[in-house]
Amino acid sequence: MDTGFSGLLTATVFLPAAGAVFILLLVRGDRNIRVVAAMVAVADLVLTLLVFGLFSRGDDAARFQFIDQFTWIPGETLRANYLLGVDGLSAPLVALTGILGLCAVLASWRIETRVREHFVWLLVLQTAVMGVFSSLDLLLFFLFWELELVPMYMLISIWGTGRKEYSAMKFLMFTILGSAFMLVAIVAVFLTPDVGTFDMRALSTQGTMLGAGVLLPLGALFWLFFIGFAIKLPVWPLHTWLPDAHTNAPTAASVMLAGVLLKMGGYGLLRINVGMFPAQAQQFAWALVTLGVISVLYGAVVTLRQTDLKRLIAYSSVSHMGLVLVGIGSIGVTHGALTSAGLNGAAMQLFTHGTITGLLFLGAGLVYDKTHTRYIPDLGGLAGRMPLVAAGLLIAGFASLGLPGLSGFVSEVLVFLGAFRAYPWPTALAVFGIVLAAGYILWMMERAFFGVRRDRFADISDASLIEALPMAILVITIVGVGIYPSILTDVFEFGLSPIVALIPVGLP
């Protein structure tokens, strides 16, 4: 295994936390706090883009790169390493976290309540998510996973709206429940005879788990991990915390929650459920596809009934995250390139949905800030008053329903191509979910932004420069990936090919 300490990933992961400590102890004045937080977010974005840009995909390139490693917990009973590294699966998600971290800071520019604490928690949250995507030690992975709970709970419960305390506690309880299942699985993996390691590189090597003695059946370990990741994704029927959390969270928290926190669940499914238990993933692929299709259709139908702008976007996330499970279901029958396409589509969906939904929540937040309502029937004619916000939401909406030339089209096509060969009829039902997506996106835009202008909105203004900047960043990303998708698909392909190689040939 690679050893050493390059320092790049450690700096990328912990720079936001260091910035949070600096703001907490040394920075005075609300304006200075905002400026320092933005500088830290920009610096971390540069580091994440370096990680992504310098990641090598050559024939002789190592699978895991930028390794930072030293012994964390020595001894024979419990051995754990501080082990960071990225492969083709995690490098794009690290970049996504950097992009959305800056957008969240800029979206918080007008926060007036407890400004210092808000930016401290936002930066700590960024470190936690970055750590999840970079950890290659299961114990370290779990600690970063848990660290994310505290800042998100604080952001929702203090700076949220409506039933914010209820929504924050519901988010906490669901996620802790999932973490309990995951912790049992992690401990069981470590205690399994002939395993005795938390190193995810070793655990994703052919035969490591299959050749081990049995503490718990491998199928049981698969489902214990799955429950933890399914709650975070979220998958029906474990999704009920998400609409409440999104509806009552502040804009920045919604951007991070939809953009990267949900992606932790999809990443865990690909990295651990498929990467460590490929035979079980193939065996239960039918169940994953079934849950995915239900999530797609249920989320889309419920979205059509929503009258709250943020709640509509939240339920659309349930629908679109179901496509991740459908893409993973392509391993149900091994067909080489199509299996790779399905997994690539699932990974692409994590990135593209992060930018698309982040843009949708930025727009919804601006609408609420300026009109003081999210009730769609009370809106109308806003495009004439807020053309920049309307344009941003329209682009995000078109990307969400899979318009060619935008990033959502690429991920959805790959998912459907990969899954159709294995499960044609369920995949066809999932495609119908995209038809429903076109309905609720276009209906929302027609009701909220077009039609007769409301007199009570005559004095509202469009997005300012600082408000339009994060929207512009995400629009550029969505259009750029839509026009040149290989900038991501090639990287994901490099990271997923070792996982595809572990999948048994044919049905088990």
Mean pLDDT calculated for residue range 146-152: 93
**pLDDT score recorded for residue 190:** 83
pLDDT at 270 over 90: yes
Is there a domain that residue 65 lies in?
no
In one-letter notation, the amino acid at residue 278 is P
Which pLDDT value is given to residue 396?
Answer: 93
- Looking at residue 447, its amino acid is R
pLDDT recorded at residue 507: 44
Asked which of 14-23, 324-333, 407-416 is least confident by mean pLDDT, the reply is 324-333
pLDDT at 44: 96
Q: Give residue 210's pLDDT band: very low, low, confident or very high (50, 70, 90).
A: low
| Planar angle of CA 411, 417, 422, nearest 5 degrees | 125
Tens of pLDDT, residue by residue over 51-62, are 999 998 877 788
Q: What one-letter code names the amino acid at 335?
A: H
DSSP assignment letter at 426: H
pLDDT digits (tens, 9 = 90+) for 107-131: 999 888 899 999 999 999 999 999 9
479: containing domain: 277-508
pLDDT at 14 over 90: yes
Q: What is the mean pLDDT of residues 351-371?
A: 91
Give the pLDDT confidence of 394-430 residue by residue, as tens digits: 999 999 988 899 998 999 999 998 888 888 888 899 9
pLDDT at 336 over 70: no
Q: What is the pTM of this model?
A: 0.92
Rounded to whole angstroms, how far apart are CA atoms 93 and 116? 27
Cβ pair 380, 460 in contact under 8 A: no
Q: Cα dist. 380→256, 383, 455 in Å?
A: 28, 8, 10
Mean predicted confidence (pLDDT) in 371-383: 86
pLDDT at 456: 82
3-state secondary structure 31-45: HHHHHHHHHHHHHHH
Q: Report yes or no: 423 and 327 within 8 Å, Cβ to Cβ.
A: no
Q: Is 192 helix (H, G, I), strand (E, B) or coil?
A: coil
Tell me the pLDDT band of 472, cut-offs 50, 70 and 90. very high
Please tell me the distance from the alpha carbon of residue 296 to that of residue 284, in angstroms, as a whole number.
19
Phi, psi dihedrals of residue 43, rounded to the nearest 5°: -60, -40
Q: Per the omega criterion (within 30 degrees of 0), is the bond before 237 cis?
A: yes
Q: How confident is the prediction for the chain on average, in pLDDT?
A: 88
Return the SS3 of 135: strand
Is 329 inside any structural domain? yes
Q: Give the model's pLDDT for residue 337.
A: 55
Greater model confidence, 193 or 299: 299
pLDDT at 383 over 50: yes
Query: What does the pLDDT look like over 70-81, one tens digit per residue?
Result: 888 886 677 788
| Percent of the chain's residues with pLDDT above 90 | 51
**Arithmetic mean of pLDDT, 222-236:** 91
Answer yes or no: is 305 within a domain: yes
Instruction: Examine the pLDDT at 1 and tell me if it is beyond 50.
Output: no
What would the mean pLDDT of 322-347 be, rounded to a whole number? Answer: 80
Domain count, the chain: 1
The Cα 448–Cα 458 span in angstroms is 15
In a domain, 385, yes or no: yes
For residue 226, the number of C-alpha atoms closer than 13 Å in the C-beta half-sphere is 22
Give percent of the chain with pLDDT exceeding 70. Answer: 94
Q: Are 17 and 123 in contact (CB under 8 A)?
A: yes
Query: Which tokens hold the place of 130?
Result: 């970055």
Q: Would you say residue 148 lies in a domain? A: no
